[in-house]
Amino acid sequence: MSLIKASATDLLGYLQSGQVSAVELLKQYLDRIETHDGSIHAYLDVAREAALERAESIDRRRSRGERLGALAGLPVAVKDVLCTAGWATTCGSRMLQNYCPPYDATVVRRLLDADAVLVGKTNMDEFAMGGSTENSAFGVTRNPWDLTRTPGGSSGGAAACVAAGMAPLSVGSDTGGSIRQPAAYCGVVGLKPSYGRVSRYGLVAFASSLDQVGPLAATAEDTALLLEVLAGHDPRDSTSAKVPVPDYLLASRQPLGALRIGLVREHFGAGLDSEVDAAVREAVDWFRDEGAEVKEISLPHSRYAISTYYIIAPSEASSNLARYDGVHYGYRTDERAMLGELQESRQRLLQEGDNAGAENLDGTLVRMYRKTRAEAFGPEVKRRIMLGTYALSAGYYDAYYLKALKVRRLIRQDFDAAFNEVDVIMGPTTPTPPFRLGEMIDDPLKMYLQDLYTVSANLTGICAMSLPCGQTGAGLPIGLQIHAPAFHEHRLLQAARAFQQGTDWHIRRPDLC
């Protein structure tokens, strides 16, 4: 029997009852990857042999009647931004092409402790910067629904592998929408947990006050299943919260009750694609028909969210990425060539009588840093490092960085006020359906504006998820975004699960030939 379309929760039942073994299940996914990943390229690396060995050992332990973890035997894909001990972790960057972490990220450790089978590392925009996976140094990922389009990003591989049936569960990271936007573009579910819900230990840092690790899956229940394994306090991440982890799967199955839904006036304005608008409104109508109370609300500072985000995130990135210096790990420029070049410049300047110029040339160490970073970072990463360096530099700090931190609080206050009136906020995840590969590559600002609806959850630290709620006339997926207050993931999952009980958008899969 084909298990590719079964949900992870169903698969878990088949595994537990012995209808299928972990090895048989894994083989179906590996076959699927073999057939389709050549054209989609969701994976940077597939650990075929290691995964098979692990599946065999889980089957053996099960047959001996051992007590197994919550995901025992389920294949899980991991975004290549999470450290895996002894297994290359590239972040989609030439900088870390040969980097092999000495330890596991806490979430990876939790997956292993839950007896999951790690099947591969998924493709992403370099250092999680981007919304299309086109910034990966190792080739783009294609949208399984239309190979000429982007799967979104930065967790493009993480979403595409679930959409294409190449993994039932997948782990991504979200700094400004990097789980939710690709989930919307690929027609799957993706959840950005509240800040502090999931440990960031071993997550390669992009913007530390915004980064969160989270689950992607085909259904709300599967998302709940995976979140429960990922979530929880970690002494190794001092920003992780000491908040108990509920039984998310159980919580997702609770009846909806009298839900108060807020629709943000500012989210249905200019720039929103009409098909996305219609699909989102129809989804909200479904909730209304189920007895939810829907009211229009305002987030007056939402039009400043992109500016705030694109000052804060690059500022933090410029600081975090300073560690890539060609000394401790990662790429280093060819030293001999670098020294030769410096020598040549110095002689040329001296011949021209430009003694000051020769004096001002970089020292060897500084030039080594600069050449290393210039050669190993891609254009988007360079842009963000420079943008952040600029915003933090003397004379500009108050005008940009400090200003953005203040507006961040205003945005947070908008959400606090809104959640006094409503339980959840619903709206589109993205302003448009997935765009064509190459369409925005030369216009970074236009690309940034696509993040309009997603960045606020990261700035404020609240939780948000995207789930499929419709399709365009051309058959492209559309995502509904739901926001809830911090540490109310159960409310998101409950609403999403109820919606999926009554609709079938989450069951639709792309036609892959």
Partner 1 sequence: MPLSSAEVEKVALLSRLLLGEEELRRMTAQLGDVVEYVRQLDELDTTAVEPMAHAAELSNVFAPDEVQPSLDRELALANAPKRDDECYRVPAVLGD
Window 342 to 381, contacts with partner 1 (CB under 8 A): 363-371, 373-374, 377, 379
Question: Does 267 contact partner 1 by CB under 8 A?
Answer: no
Residues 6+ apart with CB under 8 A from 397: 391
Note if 178 is an active site residue: yes
**Binders of partner 1 in range 271-300 (CB under 8 A):** none
Binding residues for partner 1, how many (CB under 8 A)?
73
Q: Which residues are registered as beta bridge partners of 198?
A: 231
SS3 for 214? strand
Minimum gap (Å) between residue 419 Cβ and partner 1: 15
Question: Does 335 contact partner 1 by CB under 8 A?
Answer: yes
User: Which one of 144, 196, 427, 479 is in contact with partner 1 (CB under 8 A)?
Assistant: 196
For partner 1, what does the binding mask look like between residues 431 and 450, x meaning CB under 8 A? -------------xx--x--
Q: Which of 79, 121, 192, 371 is catalytic?
A: 79
SS3 for 306? helix
Nearest to 430 by CA among 186, 89, 197: 186
Note if 154 is an active site residue: yes
Closer to partner 1 by Cβ: residue 75 or 176: 176
Supply the Cα-derived Rg of the chain in whole angstroms. 23
Question: Does 175 contact partner 1 by CB under 8 A?
Answer: no
Closer to partner 1 by Cβ: residue 239 or 298: 239
Instruction: Evaluate the CA torsion angle 492, 498, 503, 509 in order and state its sign.
Output: positive
Q: Which residues are registered as beta bridge partners of 481?
A: 427, 466
Residue 97: burial class (beta carbons within 10 Å; 0-12, 13-18, 19+): middle
Closer to partner 1 by Cβ: residue 66 or 359: 359
Residue whose tokens read 């000394």: 327
Task: Report whether the peptide linkage leading into residue 136 is cis, meaning its omega lies within 30 degrees of zero.
Answer: no
User: Which one of 83, 311, 422, 455 is in contact with partner 1 (CB under 8 A)?
Assistant: 311
User: Which one of 2, 17, 238, 420 is in contact with partner 1 (CB under 8 A)?
Assistant: 238
Count the residues in the chain: 513
User: Which one of 43, 201, 248, 400 is in contact with partner 1 (CB under 8 A)?
Assistant: 400
Question: Does 206 contact partner 1 by CB under 8 A?
Answer: no
Minimum gap (Å) between residue 464 Cβ and partner 1: 13
User: Which one of 337, 350, 410, 417 is in contact with partner 1 (CB under 8 A)?
Assistant: 410
CB 199 within 8 A of CB 106: yes
Closer to partner 1 by Cβ: residue 222 or 316: 316
Question: Does 193 contact partner 1 by CB under 8 A?
Answer: no
Closer to partner 1 by Cβ: residue 278 or 327: 327
Closer to partner 1 by Cβ: residue 268 or 390: 390
Residue 457: C-alpha distances to residues 104, 179, 180, 302, 360 (Å): 27, 12, 11, 11, 45
- B/e letters for 19-43, b = 16+ CB within 10 Å, e = fewer, are ebbbbbbbebbbebbeebbeebbbb
Minimum gap (Å) between residue 448 Cβ and partner 1: 7
Note if 208 is an active site residue: no
Question: Does 402 contact partner 1 by CB under 8 A?
Answer: yes
SS3 for 73? coil
Question: Does 458 contact partner 1 by CB under 8 A?
Answer: yes
Q: Three-class SS string for 374-433?
A: HHHCCHHHHHHHHHHHHHHCCCCCHHHHHHHHHHHHHHHHHHHHHCCCCCEEEEECCCCC
User: Which one of 385, 455, 476, 482 is in contact with partner 1 (CB under 8 A)?
Assistant: 385
User: Which one of 253, 332, 346, 488 is in contact with partner 1 (CB under 8 A)?
Assistant: 332
User: Which one of 27, 412, 508, 509 is in contact with partner 1 (CB under 8 A)?
Assistant: 412
Q: Which amino acid is at 405?
A: L
Closer to partner 1 by Cβ: residue 138 or 329: 329
Q: What 8-state DSSP symbol labels residue 95? A: G
- B/e letters for 65-89, b = 16+ CB within 10 Å, e = fewer, are eeebbbbbbbbbbbbbbbbbeebeb
Closer to partner 1 by Cβ: residue 29 or 400: 400
**Binders of partner 1 in range 90-129 (CB under 8 A):** 98-100, 102-103
Closer to partner 1 by Cβ: residue 287 or 331: 331
User: Which one of 49, 258, 296, 328 is in contact with partner 1 (CB under 8 A)?
Assistant: 328
Q: Which of 132, 136, 154, 199 is catalytic?
A: 154
User: Which one of 144, 153, 433, 461 is in contact with partner 1 (CB under 8 A)?
Assistant: 461
Minimum gap (Å) between residue 196 Cβ and partner 1: 5
Residue whose tokens read 């089957």: 59
Minimum gap (Å) between residue 445 Cβ and partner 1: 5
- Both structure tokens of 391: 């915003």
| Active-site amino acid positions | 79, 154, 178
